[in-house]
Structure 1
């Protein structure tokens, strides 16, 4: 599984030949939102991939940061996600248009289904997912989006989509770090030309204290965060680390000038699976008992330049 990533252009090529930057900037409503950090990431650190979601409540802020950065829209790979409450043929299309409006863009580079769950009162879950995925296929056909995919889908969920779809998902984004490394799911995706992408590469900070991670970092003269991100890259897994601190955003981008040794990769590839950052058991309740998008967003931390 650990194919060393050596592409000097810093991207992976998806099954439809679209190039995805292998390192992106994650955003969410957890921990607030930093306009300064996003502008800094684009303008000074070379990030060209931003990952967000309607659920996070910061799409409008991201649009403002992209504009402030001065980086042309066409140079940025912009990803957002459809929350399950918006699933369904017509509502998914409306959600897509709403995200485009908030992100101030005429198209999206990638649009993902956020979870395989659907609202409990939806009746036929499989039919709703089928209708929702078909809506994404139509958007792709209309060239409103360049890449369509899913997030947090396991093998059985992907089986249901693949059995009914015209277009196999280009990508599946899931939690991924040495403490949560779903090898069987990754192989499943690889066998079907579905790019596996990881979120929470630092395990929400818990991975920075792992003894094996710290040991590798000391031996290489790097930070634990850089080791964890580099480990993802060398597994050919794009990742989207998040930080609201400009200095951490810069640190996380400095991962292309060193290589983890074979023994380092083996050690990190085979760590005990002890950390789960996202509790799947709580997702259905969040879908059925909706809170406002961005409900965790600390607006006191949102500072947007005029």
Structure 2
């Protein structure tokens, strides 16, 4: 395996096994970090309208000299833009910002939730129908969701024509999401993991520090390897060139199963406090 090894998606396309994340990266820094990631060898770039950096990401890709077809580009629809026509309009704006005429993957960033919206089921359905239209027109190569739990996914499956192909959720030591991963595998949904380093808290966990010493790797490399061996696509982010390169060097070793279990059993390593069942944005 390497950064460009691809994992099959249910519709016959595929996605690189590690992505480069840009959450909480301002526009100018996103441009620089994405350019560096592409230089290092990443070919899977993840952004979102809510990140406010699509323009920087798009500029980095356009100026990289790498053919667009060789880059897997993801963006996400922000919740205030949900609904059929507003989704189509938001997608068009994202394409313009990203300087491209298609996306490899488009995700609903968060499910609308019944706690805050009386019509959350219908809102998600109308949004997904717009996704299906864009997919049918070839403007998106694969469609999926982010932070969706089973009841959110089943609402789409029961009322729409195309099932989500990807679910991007928060996954890291202390939050392994075993049940959600099992659900997605049962329904042929690829799982991506955001915040793989537990928003930085994983670096101070003694058990992982010991494993890093054992394998002669960094804490970040051990944790990313844990994700990959679980079949999860991690989305590490950094604006530091040395760390961007470091996070790419995870394919020359494997974690023993007992060490995989040590990481999976960790508790209290951090959580974003973002809950799709109690979302306030």
The normalised TM-score by structure 1 is 0.86
Q: Give 1:176 deviation, angstroms.
A: 0.5
Cα separation, 2, equivalents of 1:284 and 1:234: 30
> Using a 3 Å threshold, how does the CA distance of structure 1 residues 282 and 154 change in structure 2: closer, same or farther?
closer
Matched residue, 2:35: 39
Cα separation, 2, equivalents of 1:285 and 1:255: 36
Cα separation, 2, equivalents of 1:34 and 1:243: 9
Matched residue, 1:146: 141
More contact order relative to length (CA 8 Å, sep ≥ 6): 1
Q: Aligned match of 2:165 in 161, 170, 173?
A: 170
The answer to whether the Cα contact below 8 Å between 2:3 and 2:41 also exists between their aligned partners in 1 is no
> Using a 3 Å threshold, how does the CA distance of structure 1 residues 41 and 118 change in structure 2: closer, same or farther?
same
Unaligned runs of 5+ in 1: 1-5, 287-306
Q: Aligned match of 2:238 in 238, 243, 265?
A: 243
Instruction: Provide, for residues 213-241 of structure 1, a one-character-per-residue CA deviation record: whole Å limited to 9, x for no partner.
Output: 11111000000000000100000101110
Indicate the SS of the match to 1:20. Answer: strand
Indicate the SS of the match to 2:258. Answer: helix
Matched residue, 2:225: 230
**Residue-pair matches, total:** 280
Cα separation, 2, equivalents of 1:226 and 1:173: 20
The answer to whether the Cα contact below 8 Å between 2:143 and 2:164 also exists between their aligned partners in 1 is yes
Aligned pairs for 1:50-65 (under 5 A) are 50-65=45-60
Matched residue, 2:61: 66
Matched residue, 1:98: 93
Instruction: Provide, for residues 120-147 of structure 1, a one-character-per-residue CA deviation record: whole Å limited to 9, x for no partner.
Output: 8864211111111111011111110001
Q: Give 1:276 deviation, angstroms.
A: 1.0
Instruction: Provide, for residues 176-195 of structure 1, a one-character-per-residue CA deviation record: whole Å limited to 9, x for no partner.
Output: 11111111111111101011
Matched residue, 1:18: 13
Q: Give 1:279 deviation, angstroms.
A: 2.2
Cα separation, 2, equivalents of 1:152 and 1:105: 25
Q: Give 1:273 deviation, angstroms.
A: 4.9
Unaligned runs of 5+ in 2: none
Q: Give 1:28 deviation, angstroms.
A: 2.0
Cα separation, 2, equivalents of 1:156 and 1:148: 18
The answer to whether the Cα contact below 8 Å between 1:84 and 1:119 also exists between their aligned partners in 2 is no
Pair 1:80-2:75 in alignment: yes
Matched residue, 2:250: 255
The answer to whether the Cα contact below 8 Å between 1:84 and 1:114 also exists between their aligned partners in 2 is yes
Instruction: Provide, for residues 225-271 of structure 1, a one-character-per-residue CA deviation record: whole Å limited to 9, x for no partner.
Output: 00000100000101110001111100000011111111111111222
Alignment root-mean-square deviation, CA: 2.0
